[in-house]
Structure 1
Amino acid sequence: MSTFGHVFRVTTAGESHGRSVTAIVDNCPPGLSLTEDDIQPQLTRRRPGQSAISTPRNEFDRVEIQSGTENGLTLGTPIALRVLNEDQRPHDYKTKKMDLYPRPSHADWTYLEKYGIKASSGGGRSSARETIARVAAGAIAEKVLREAHGIEIVAFVSSTGDEFLFPPTPEHPTATTQPGFQKLLETITRKQVDAFQPCRCPDADVSARMVALIEKVRDAHDSIGGVITCVIRNMPAGLGEPCFDKLEAVLAHAMMSIPSTKAFSIGSGFGGCQVRGSRHNDSFLKGTGDREKLHLTTKTNNSGGVQGGISNGAHIYFDVGFKPPATIGQEQTTANYDGQEVVVSSGGRHDPCVVPRAIPIVEAMAALTILDAVLVQRSRTAMMTR
């Protein structure tokens, strides 16, 4: 499926080395001020060629709004977005005869088995190039959430390989109980994240170690994975659709649909499995909110802002794990499509670590998930009799 969402729906199309990547956005509220300038910043944060530790593919990723707006305002009709591929090089793959065998850990074999045909260059539809459409659509969702609800979404790199922003310890197996973690979630901004280039890890010493690690694996023609942490602030309570569309389940669906993802955890995550309930439980307190007379908050937030699949009004935060990029320059043993053993090395231009550039993708999918949940809940409350 290439469509995401129930009410705020996004349909994407485009391959790695095709002419363009496109998105159709349905049910964006009318009257929203929207131009390309609202979308471009997130695409620029995602674009390749940003540093020596990212792919040198030279794409400016300029977005064009094709329909759905007039005089800078949304019409309520479908919004069509297009980004041209300006630096595609399919010959990088054909000259290396890379279409003769499935590349290790790529989707070549599975796409061929599923469809009986596959793109002959790059990853085709499985390439991270398709995430341009998600980021463009997500930027629209973010603007609606920010202006209508004051919701903020910020992501940052929290680990690369074995370099951690908040290393797990026997006393603190989960970052949620570590001093400074919740404070960081309260205060971190995208401007602060981007100040720590090229890794986007908001700590100078840790960021420097991450850069050194990525440079080391790059120079060895290898790759490395990492984790992105995302926080969603100023969340309303009551979002999420139990039982099968619980808010954390839809967030997991959204995040795990991003290329190269291998793990998702919310709140205390796997580290929370190592502590006792007496330490993990989030006790309720009378809050200061004015949305309801009996508005409550929690003393701690190990739940990550979601309980019973429904947002409780606290900050939502989660981790997304990315594997090492599959394309590396080292020779590897694999098999061709006839089953004969071959030795291969990959061509093309690729990131030694994807996490710094994946930050706006995570933010975009979070925005699409939350705005859709907001609109679903609004449709319910509009019909409530009391």
Structure 2
Amino acid sequence: VARVAAGAVAQRVLDTAGMKIYAYTVALGGIYAQECDLDFVEQNLLFCCDKSVYPKMEQRILEVKKEGDSLGGIVEVRVKNCPCGLGEPVFDKLDAELAKALMSIGAVKGVEIGAGFKVADMLGSECNDEITPQGFASNNAGGILAGISNGDEIIVRAAVKPISSIEKEQRTITQEGDPTTISVKGRHDISAIPRIVPVCAAMVRLVLADHLLRQRMIGEKA
């Protein structure tokens, strides 16, 4: 709650630069969105961005709930109208700061920016975002080059692990080291999604507001 509240304050700072932040679910339990409809995001309980796969996500939740298990997923945060020049080239790289902020969220186990891990399979000529008179021809960099925003959309994704407290019986050990089993009873969320979606957005807002204020302070001193 505190992160989301702070993020709302940070958005007031970002509003002065016209920056818009959108966060939504792109994957849940192995079901991936095939398109992104930002208007649909606020119309469903999972903040899913694809109307066509939303029923499948709901069905997957019901199936896993019956099994006493839990689900992970992926949250994507998109930043529009980000000005150029936010970040630093070495110690406080914007992408590093965003990754740190998102990784500070308990259930997040991985972060990727732009094309992310897909760049490992690309050629340099495929990965490079060529520049045209109209702007960048692609956005594999996710709006950040050399730790500094380049004016393109910032795209960052967070991998969210399944909740560990599950009813399904699993192996563990006692305090004495003897083998036993554990089953967590009671009411539990099946996934950290959708609760984690606004938290991811809030952390991105906080990082961007910080760097925007830094940029303005440097400009005033120059």
TM-score normalised according to structure 1 size: 0.55
8 A Cα contact 1:231 1:316, kept in partner:
yes
Runs of 4+ in 1 over 4 A off after TM superposition: none
Q: Which residue identity does 2:5 align to in structure 1?
A: A
Deviations 1:221-266 (Å, cap 9, x if unpaired)?
1001000111011000001122121000000000001011111000
- 1:283 alignment partner, one of 124, 130, 135: 130
- Residue 144 of structure 2 is matched in structure 1 by 306
> Is the partner of 2:23 in helix, strand or coil?
strand
- Residue 101 of structure 2 is matched in structure 1 by 254
- Residue 337 of structure 1 is matched in structure 2 by 175
8 A Cα contact 1:198 1:211, kept in partner:
no
8 A Cα contact 2:112 2:157, kept in partner:
yes
8 A Cα contact 2:163 2:190, kept in partner:
yes
Is 1:141 equivalent to 2:10 in the alignment?
A: yes
- Residue 202 of structure 2 is matched in structure 1 by 364
Q: Which residue identity does 1:344 align to in structure 2?
A: I
Please tell me the root mean square deviation across aligned C-alpha atoms, in Å.
Answer: 1.5
Is 1:154 equivalent to 2:2 in the alignment?
A: no
- Residue 327 of structure 1 is matched in structure 2 by 165
Counterparts of 1:8-87 in structure 2 under 5 Å? none
Q: Which of 1 and 2 has greater Rg? A: 1
8 A Cα contact 2:40 2:51, kept in partner:
no
- Residue 199 of structure 1 is matched in structure 2 by 46
8 A Cα contact 2:108 2:161, kept in partner:
yes
Relative contact order, higher structure (CA 8 A, sep 6+): 2
- Residue 268 of structure 1 is matched in structure 2 by 115
Long gaps (5+) in structure 2: none
- Residue 208 of structure 1 is matched in structure 2 by 55
> Is the partner of 2:189 in helix, strand or coil?
coil
8 A Cα contact 2:142 2:154, kept in partner:
yes
> Is the partner of 1:313 in helix, strand or coil?
coil
**Cα offset, 1:210, TM superposition:** 1.0
Could you tell me the percent identity over the aligned residues? 38
Q: Which residue identity does 2:8 align to in structure 1?
A: A
TM-score normalised according to structure 2 size: 0.94
